[in-house]
Each structure stands twice: as C-alpha cells, then as structure tokens.
Chains A and B, each alone.
Chain A
C-alpha cells in the first residue's frame, strides 16, 4: 500500500484492528467449523482403539463402504463424460439456447436432496409415472441399487461441467482449431490438445464429484429403503447406528467419511494451486 502515509493516516492504520479481526476469524472458525471434526474422532475413540477397530471393521459397515464405493465408481466416470461433452458443446460452439442449457446443467445444485429423491420416486416408484411399466417388466429401480445410482448421478451431475466450462471458455479454441486445420482428427485433437490443457480441472471436478457421491445422504435415503447389509450406504449406515443408540459405532463409521473429506480438502488445495499456476 502507499508509502506516503501522512501522520493522521498512519494513526488510522494501527495494527490493533487487523489483529482483532484475524483473532476473531481464527477463533470462530476453529469453534464453528473445525471442532465438529475433532468431536467425531473423540467420540469414535471414546471406548478405546480396540472398540474403534471392531466398529470400523463390522460386516455391515464394510458392506456399506463397499456399496458406497460401487455407486461412486459408476457415477463419477459417467458424470466426467457428461461434463466433458457439455463443456465442449458450450465452449466450442455457438447455438441458440446455450445460456438456458447452462442453467439446466447447474439446476441440480439448487434442488434440495430430499426433493431430488422425491422426483425420482415419482418417476420410477410403484406409484410413479413409469411404475406400471417397470412392474410389468419386472424391473426394480427404487429401493435398490439402480435408484441409488440414479439419484447420485442427478445430485452430482453439475460438478465436472461447472469446473470445465469457465476454464475452457478462458482458454479459447485457438489451439484446437489449429490442430484440426493442420489435419488432426477430432479425437486426436481432444486427446493431444484439449485433455492436456484441462486435465487438472477435470481431476478437480472429479474429486468434488466423488466426495459428494460418497457423502450424499438425503436423496439416497429417500430411494434406498435402508435395508441393513443390502441397500445401506456409509452415510445411511451412520444414521442407522446412531438411531440404534450405538453412538460409538456411528462415529466410527463417520470417521471413515471424515477422513475421505479431509483427503478431498488436501487434493482440492493441491489442484487449486496447480490451476492457479497455469
């Protein structure tokens, strides 16, 4: 800032105010944001390490972890492909209705997870629009794995596209157009020119998408049917144990999710630094 501060201005800029604000910010953040994370580990370990280990490795908990991973493994690649297609379409071509399409892509972000569950139930459930058809063909989507995957797909669909669109807009199409003009095929251009330019943003979007896919609760709880050891994801299992008055078990299962969240934060910070450097 200015070096020519005259005495009255220097008086305004005492160091008390910054110190006070920094102190207030740190204390509030530690109490309000960080403390809940600490309490999860404290509660999970409150009966000792052996009990914690037994809880984390309980068969139902392991099955919930397995189911959560299966959902994420299916949902994240699909949404990466969708994000790539949507970003290519929106940033590389001009067409009427482009803005509307962007709004539609981001729509799931403003919809409550419970509402997300409800709309899928009203489509694929027994009383839903497609209910009679599905029943006639003996296809089960609701209260089963396909339904849980579909709502997770819905809830996490904007993540990759939202990271790619602004970046690809800024980068422009010059390099790709040059490659195509010089005779590269569309796929060659994508793999050799586009992908190297956007890989960190793609990975960033995928990380956020994965975190949400693993942690989604409201939408999945509407369509899962909560069958223990069958259609219980890890977040649903936390609720189930908690309502079973097995708080230590619930918090033990929660630590797995918390560790995933903390890894996400570290990855996010690293990727953000990469993106900034570009």
Chain B
C-alpha cells in the first residue's frame, strides 16, 4: 500500500464532513421530541408511588379493559397470521391478472386514517350494514361486541404480516424445494418442512408487530366498540376517559403499562427471532 492510499484509508472514516452538525441535530431532536416527553411520563407516574400505581392499574375497570384489549388483540393477530401468510404466498408465488392491484390494496389499512376506518367498519358491520345484515342472519352480532373490537384491530394491523413475510418469501431459493419435490415430497410437506422454517422468524415478527399495534389501537376501535365499561372498553380508551376526568395519575399509570407491554412484546420477538435464526443455522 502506498503512503497516499494508506492515508486515505486511515482518513476515510471521517473524510465526509457534517459529523458535528448531524450529530447535534439528531441528538437534539431525539432528546426534545422523543425522550423528554417519555421522561415526563415516567416522572409523573413515579410521583404516584408503587402502592398507588398498583392500585390504579389493578382496579376492576382497568383489569377488565386489559382483558378486553388482550383478548381482541390475540384474535386479531391470529386472523392476520393466517390471512397475512396466505396473501404473502399468493402475491409472491403466483402470477394472475390484477396482482399489482391486489398488492396495492394490502396497504389500504396503513394509508386510511384510523378514524375513517373506524366509521367505515362500523357502517359496514352494523346490524343494517352490508355485511352486518348477513352476520345478523347467522345470529352473529359484531358492532358493540369484542368481536367488533377484534375486527377493527385486525383491519388496522393487517399489512404487518404480509409486508414482513413477502420479502423473505421472495428471496427464498427454489433449489431445496425442487430437490424435495424431486424426491417425492408432497407440496404440503414441502411447505411445512422446507419453506415454513425459513419464513418463520419473519412470520413471527409480523405477528408481534400486528399484536403490538393492536394493543395500542384507538381510532379504529372506539367507533365499533360501543365502549361499554367492563365489556368492550379498551385500554387506550380508558386512558383517554381518565384524562377527560382530569385523573392524570390513573391515565399515566395505565399508559405506563400500555407502553411497557408494547416494549415487552417487541423485546420478546427480538429474542425469539434470534433463537429461531440460531436454530435454523444449526439446521
């Protein structure tokens, strides 16, 4: 290596200007916009003290809200686990007319404002709505029930599973599949034993993202839920109600639990993902 090349090589890490400017801008912004408000929440809920905190988050109404939210989010995620996997498979593996449009439709739930999704779903599944009538005939009530809450959560979190599984499925090499097909494995077996293990980490991540989003969903749910305390009241609505009652202690305590749950879900997913990847590598 010549002296000049060596010098460039040594300097290359800091050849580009702007370190101070971008570091300053980014840190200031993150500190002011993200960290400072989060610190306010933690400080305010620390003021309540551990006993008060526990009392506020284990109140009967709060517990019921947690139960409704977790149940509905679990059903919504189960639906999306299946629906998302189906759509990722169909969009990656098959060619058919209108595929591009179908692919674009998948993003509607992210693009549509949640409040708009909320009023639309309520109109659609109400007893006199286009779909509500059909379900009514089958004896199923959706609006103002936990089913409705789950439906709204499923709608707003639908793209997560599709969009995380799709790229992994696309990058899958066909050789192992072809080998197992040549050896006489049935398509179902190939999917279960060859394909699914590879997309499993992505599938899990998509489901976790969908679940975390469902736990915090507000706009889409409040219209279809009917918001009956102990029956269809979700956690984020309870936080909102406590705020309107100027009960900031209760609102911040419940908000802390909501925040912690979302983080726990994401951390657990990261851990599971790392585990799945290590397992896959071992083969």
- Chain B residues lying within 8 Å of A238, measured Cβ to Cβ, are 113, 115-116, 119
List which B13-43 residues lie within 8 A (CB) of chain A: 13-19, 21-23, 25-26, 29-30, 33-38, 40-41, 43
Question: Among the listed stretches A49-57, A116-124, A195-203, which one makes contact with chain B, having 4 or more residues with CB under 8 Å of it?
Answer: A116-124
Residue in B38, B104, B113 whose beta carbon sits within 8 Å of that of A215 in the complex = B113
Residue in A180, A222, A258 whose beta carbon sits within 8 Å of that of B240 in the complex = A222
Question: Among the listed stretches B60-68, B88-96, B142-150, which one makes contact with chain A, having 4 or more residues with CB under 8 Å of it?
Answer: B88-96
Residue in A24, A104, A180 whose beta carbon sits within 8 Å of that of B34 in the complex = A104
A24 to B85 Cα, complex, angstroms:
12
Q: Is the CB of A85 within 8 A of B26?
A: yes
List which A253-270 residues lie within 8 A (CB) of chain B: 254, 257-258, 261-262, 264-266, 268-269
Contact code string B94-128 (vs A, CB < 8 Å = 1, else 0):
10101010101111110111111101110110000
Q: Contacts A93-B14, A114-B240, A121-B243 known; A34 to B181 CB distance under 8 Å? A: no
CB distance from B195 to the nearest CB of A (A): 14
Question: Among the listed stretches B49-57, B199-207, B258-266, B275-283, which one makes contact with chain A, having 4 or more residues with CB under 8 Å of it?
Answer: B258-266
- Chain A residues lying within 8 Å of B174, measured Cβ to Cβ, are 1
Residue in B26, B37, B182, B251 whose beta carbon sits within 8 Å of that of A89 in the complex = B26
CB distance from B28 to the nearest CB of A (A): 10
CB distance from A60 to the nearest CB of B (A): 16
Residue in A86, A111, A216 whose beta carbon sits within 8 Å of that of B22 in the complex = A86
How many A residues, CB 8 Å from partner? 101
How many B residues, CB 8 Å from partner? 90
A104 to B96 Cα, complex, angstroms:
41
Majority SS of interface residues in chain A? helix
Contact code string B248-270 (vs A, CB < 8 Å = 1, else 0):
10011001001100110010000
Interface centre among B114, B115, B120, B131 (most CB of A within 10 A): B115
Instruction: Give residues in B with beta carbon < 8 Å to A.
Output: 8, 12-19, 21-23, 25-26, 29-30, 33-38, 40-41, 43-44, 83, 86-87, 89-91, 93-94, 96, 98, 100, 102, 104-109, 111-117, 119-121, 123-124, 129-131, 154-155, 158, 174, 178, 181-182, 184, 186-187, 212, 215-219, 223, 236-237, 239-240, 243, 248, 251-252, 255, 258-259, 262-263, 266
> Ordered nearest first, which 7 A-B pairs have the shortest CB separation?
A112-B216, A215-B113, A186-B17, A119-B37, A217-B219, A218-B218, A89-B22
Instruction: Kindly list 20 other residue pairs between chains A and B, CB separation below 8 angstroms, not including A31-B131, A92-B18, A217-B115.
Output: A22-B94, A25-B87, A32-B83, A36-B124, A85-B21, A85-B29, A89-B19, A93-B22, A101-B26, A105-B26, A105-B30, A111-B262, A112-B262, A113-B216, A116-B37, A117-B243, A129-B40, A154-B33, A239-B115, A262-B111
